[in-house]
Structure 1
Amino acid sequence: MSRAPLPMRDGVAPSYLYLPDGDWLHMIGFLVERFPDVSEASWRDRMARGDVVDGDGNPLQPGSRFKRGMRIWYYRELEKPETPIPFREEILHMDEHLVVVDKPHFLPMIPTGRFLHETLLVRLKKTLGEADLVPIHRLDRETAGVVIFSRNPASRGTYQSMFQKRVVDKEYEALAPRLDGVAFPYIYRSRMVEGDKFFVMKEEPGEPNSATTIEVIAHHADYTHYRLFPHTGRQHQLRLHLSSLGVPILNDAFYPVALPCKQDDVSQPLQLLARAISFIDPISGDWREFRSRRSLRL
């Protein structure tokens, strides 16, 4: 794909879309209908600033003709100010291909919903000044720990394929109630599918499509410290598996019951940590292991 006609600005890369079929006469009518959470006044202001352009970088105006198939570029902006997330990421490793980061709890990976500048991707782009930075796997906003970004488009597919082929070893830690009646290490398997509520998973009868090995690090008076090894990468796999066993991870707001959104409350982090990622480097052939420096604390 050709380079974007707008530069990265304050860590935010421009977004784009191709105009669909439709009977809009002018750009402003399409934009207001396509993005109902963005006011017409906001779009007019962005256009006046030259922040909405076509594929050649020509500024678009409210009265510009709507043309099906045309690609337009714009910056994502929020209508309301973001609440700062008071936790910082730490860069663990950098080389010509990768940036390995220790993510704090509550920080989203990428811009989404009400988060833009307070996301790991945008923070790193600001810090490093690299518009091509892309995460090659994800962690939930609520989960802390090791995550890897690609900084080199030429090698990106090679590293992404490791996760697709499941040749990456992942180690997590969690605090949860004590699980009795099983011998450790214990392997839990289930069939996971999308739940009835947005962004929540559930289990159903059938051939398992997820598996997690569970070990005990230490038993404490009020909780157990677990080590978890996911053999598959289903969304919310560790959270759902422990909840299904009757020992939900402490401070989990989704499982076993999805609680009302806590908005900007950061007082009770989910006690789940991506402790380590290890793999054979597909380019150098070297064994690579990256470990989080964070700790789970109540």
Structure 2
Amino acid sequence: MKLKELIVFETGELVALNKPSGLLSIPDREGKEPSLKDLLQVQYDDIFTVHRLDRETSGLIIFAKTAAAHKHFSQQFEARKTIKVYTGLVLGSVTVPEGHIDAPIAENMVKRGTMIIHRRGKQALTDFKVLKDYGLYTWMQFNIHTGRTHQIRVHTKEIGHPLVGDTLYGDGKPVFISSFKSKFNLSKNELEERPILNRLALHAAQLKIAGPDGNVIALEAPLHKDLRATLQQLDKRR
């Protein structure tokens, strides 16, 4: 993996990257697996964590390059002054074109590492909009106003449409072309069908944040190949 291929924007204060699914944002407690921050620290003298994405989530993430920039950007996340837009593929047909989810999220005390909707939790706010309804799946946009752990994953489960490929809150099943293409045949060299998408279908697409000079920095991360190919196949049969 070449770091320069992941960078979508860079200044003297920050570096923005399009993180692939499966890569940790920052080192975990074990410290055995490589993370995006590890890769950055090889190239830069100083690198500071501003926010994180779940390992399974792809898309836009920023790191600060100075202590002053780290404080500046982190304060905006804490004060909810950033605009964060995600896109994702959920199971089923979402019949409501757009809506708002206001449901507090708390740590699941029974199943560690997961979150639940619970009144003892912290406020979590998510706006959603249907972009394309494919019947079996729906392509959606999410604007989150809070940054709770697994927020979109928990909220989509709450409305009965968990994210595709979500092993914690959905069925975790990959997407096969044969599931929506009636006349599907394996190629001559294949013994079994390979999934077109085999990971959490959630992507951090856009981020707006003010730079140290006060000007708004509008960032965008294109979809990775697997999600893009999945949507192209669904579009053909829509």
Number of corresponding residues: 203
Q: Which of 202, 207, 223 matches 1:272? A: 202
Amino acid at match of 1:271: A
Partner of 1:284: 213
Partner of 1:34: none
SS at match of 2:40: helix
Higher Rg: 1
Distance 1:207 1:94, change over 3 A: closer
SS at match of 1:238: helix
Separation of aligned partners in 1, 2:165 and 2:149:
18
Separation of aligned partners in 2, 1:207 and 1:108:
25
Contact conserved, 2:157 with 2:170, CA < 8 A, in 1? yes
Q: Any unmatched runs of 5+ in structure 2?
A: 174-196, 231-238
Shift of 1:120: 0.5
Q: What per-residue deviation string (whole Å, max 9, x for no partner) do you get for residues 23-67 of structure 1?
A: xxxxxxxxxxxxxxxxxxxxxxxxxxxxxxxxxxxxxxxxxxxxx
Q: What per-residue deviation string (whole Å, max 9, x for no partner) do you get for residues 157-182 of structure 1?
A: 11110101110000000001234453
Amino acid at match of 1:187: H
Shift of 1:118: 2.1
Shift of 1:134: 1.6
Distance 1:144 1:180, change over 3 A: closer
Contact conserved, 2:125 with 2:145, CA < 8 A, in 1? yes
Partner of 2:9: 93
Q: TM-score, normalised by structure 1?
A: 0.62
Partner of 2:128: 214
The equivalences for 1:1-298 within 5 A come to 90-113=6-29, 115-116=31-32, 118-126=34-42, 128=43, 130-182=44-96, 184-195=97-108, 196-205=110-119, 209-256=123-170, 268-281=198-211, 283-295=212-224, 296-297=227-228, 298=230
Separation of aligned partners in 2, 1:88 and 1:224:
32
Distance 1:194 1:94, change over 3 A: same
Q: TM-score, normalised by structure 2?
A: 0.77
Percent of matched pairs sharing the same residue: 27
Shift of 1:292: 0.5
Separation of aligned partners in 2, 1:273 and 1:133:
23
Higher relative contact order (CA 8 A, sep 6+): 2
Separation of aligned partners in 2, 1:226 and 1:90:
24
Partner of 1:5: none
Separation of aligned partners in 2, 1:242 and 1:163:
22
Contact conserved, 2:3 with 2:39, CA < 8 A, in 1? no
| Larger helix proportion of the pair | 2
For the aligned residues, what is the CA RMSD? 2.5
